[in-house]
Amino acid sequence: MTKDVPSSGIGILATGSYLPERVVTNADIVRMVPGTSEEWLERKTKIVARRFAAPGEAASDLAASAARAALDAAGLGAGDVDYLIVSTTTGDAPIPATATLVQHALGAHRAGCFDVNIACSGFVTSLALARGLVTLRPTTRALVIGTDVYSRFLDFGDRSTSVLFGDGAGAVVVAAVGDGPGFLDLDMLGGGAAHDLIAIPGGGSRRPASAETVADAGHVLHMKGRQVHDYVMDNVPGALDALLERCGHKAADVDHFVPHQANGVMLDQLVDVCGLTGAVTHRPLEHSGNTGSASVAIALDEANRSGALRSGDLVLLAGFGAGMAVSAGLLRWSEPTQRSAA
């Protein structure tokens, strides 16, 4: 099948991303995390390095830098932004929304703004929300950002989590794309019964911050890696197949696969199971690690800046992670006016 479903002509005008300056190599991780070796790290994760935010950098700072890159690439100013959506699970604070801090930093004073907290599926979920907002008012522009600073929430005594994550942000401008079809479809799947597979249990209304939550590591990331792997393999392939089928396509039609950068070994397995071996899979995790909400956005920007994405290419996006949750999107790429600055 090669027939696209009708679309509203809403897509991605431009992309941008930001990685902090500090590079943390596997050699650095070996010195920080007991029971690891460089060979073990690369074999188990395919990650060679990741970035950690500077002491004065928070999620909103990374987000603002990525947003500026996307706006510059689109030839837009902050005053042209109508909606600003930030996907993050490591926001600057519980209140206010990180999106409001990004709005202030950019000077996007007339933009409606809000956060999305659904972890690694949040950026693609935010794209679906942005598409809906632009559908309601076709002349508007939405700035969608994924940003996370997981280095602040890692237990470096736990090698199952601390070796995977890095910090970063990615952004896109969503708007009408003229004659291009843009997004063909986007969808989301929730798996709340598995909510305990990935969590930072302390600091909320159920377990507010206290000496006890600090003592029992309630403010760092906990993950049941094997069960997470099984959830992804049990749910992501079906969600992608259903999305492609609704759009009149098969996996063999996909030109580019841009997944969440969870773990390199798992991505290899996912590509095989989903029948996406004929697509180019974009995987910056080798140099940036798992950047949570930012990972799909960073991968998309790097693919765009490299010149890999061409007008008319079929691009499949997939987010999956804590919640548990899966989000997926399919679009015909529209060549941006200019590519994001490196």
Q: What is the pLDDT of residues 172-214, one digit of tens each?
A: 999 998 777 899 999 999 999 999 999 999 998 999 999 999 9
Residue 127 to residues 141, 227, 231, 245: CA-CA distances in angstroms?
12, 27, 23, 20
Is 341 a member of any domain? no
**Does the active-site annotation cover 120?**
yes
The count of structural domains within the chain is: 1
Is the confidence at residue 256, as pLDDT, over 90? Answer: yes
> Is 229 an annotated catalytic residue?
no
Annotated active-site residue 290? The verdict is yes
Residues in the chain: 342
Residues 6+ apart with CB under 8 A from 179: 9
pLDDT per position as a tens digit, 137-150: 999 999 999 999 99
Instruction: Identify which of 111, 87, 107 has the alpha carbon closest to the alpha carbon of residue 97.
Output: 87
* Reported confidence tier of residue 336, pLDDT bands at 50, 70, 90: low
Residue 216 is assigned to a structural domain of this protein = yes
Q: Would you say residue 338 has pLDDT above 50?
A: no
d(CA 54, CA 35): 26
DSSP β-ladder status, 314-321 and 256-259: parallel
Point out the catalytic residue in the list 26, 263, 290, 304: 290
User: How far is Cα of residue 101 from the mean position of the Cα atoms in its chain?
Assistant: 19
Average pLDDT over residues 14-31: 97
Q: Please check the confidence at residue 7 and state whether its pLDDT lies above 70.
A: no
Question: 46, 48, 49: which is closest to 271 by C-alpha?
Answer: 46
pLDDT score of 4? 52
Nearest to 317 by CA among 301, 341, 337: 301
Cis peptide before 324 (omega within 30 of 0): yes
- At 253 the pLDDT is 97
Distance CA 216, CA 220 (A): 10
| pLDDT recorded at residue 340 | 39
Does residue 16 fall inside a structural domain?
yes
Q: How high is the pLDDT of residue 282?
A: 97
pLDDT in tens, 52-99: 999 999 999 999 999 999 999 999 999 999 999 999 999 999 999 999
Q: Is residue 185 part of a domain?
A: yes
pLDDT at 178 (0 to 100): 77
Share of the chain above pLDDT 70, in %: 95
0.85 surpassed by pTM: yes
Q: Is 155 exposed, middle or buried (0-12, 13-18, 19+ CB in 10 A)?
A: middle
Is residue 342 one of the residues assigned to a domain? no
Beta-sheet strands, E only, within the chain: 10-18, 22-25, 49-52, 83-87, 112-116, 142-149, 167-176, 183-190, 198-199, 222-223, 256-259, 280-281, 314-321, 325-332
Q: For residue 18, give its domain range.
A: 1-336
pLDDT in tens, 291-332: 999 999 999 999 999 999 999 999 999 999 999 999 999 999
Please tell me the distance from the alpha carbon of residue 266 to that of residue 100, in angstroms, as a whole number: 35
| Residues in contact with 42: Cβ distance below 8 Å, sequence separation at least 6, in sequence order | 26, 48
Within a domain: residue 112?
yes
Confidence check: pLDDT of 156 > 90? yes
Which residue, among 14, 43, 42, has the nearest Cα to 27 in the 3D structure? 42
- Give CA–CA dist 228/324, Å, rounded: 9
Given the residues 113, 120, 247, 274, the one annotated as active site: 120
Question: Does the structure show a pLDDT above 60 at 5?
Answer: no
Q: What is the pLDDT of residues 235-251, one digit of tens each?
A: 999 999 999 999 999 99
CATH number at residue 247: 3.40.47.10
pLDDT in tens, 109-142: 999 999 999 999 999 999 999 999 999 999 999 9
pLDDT tier, 6 (very low <50, low <70, confident <90, very high otherwise): very low
Residue 214 inside a domain? The answer is yes
Q: Which of 260, 263, 282, 304 is catalytic?
A: 260
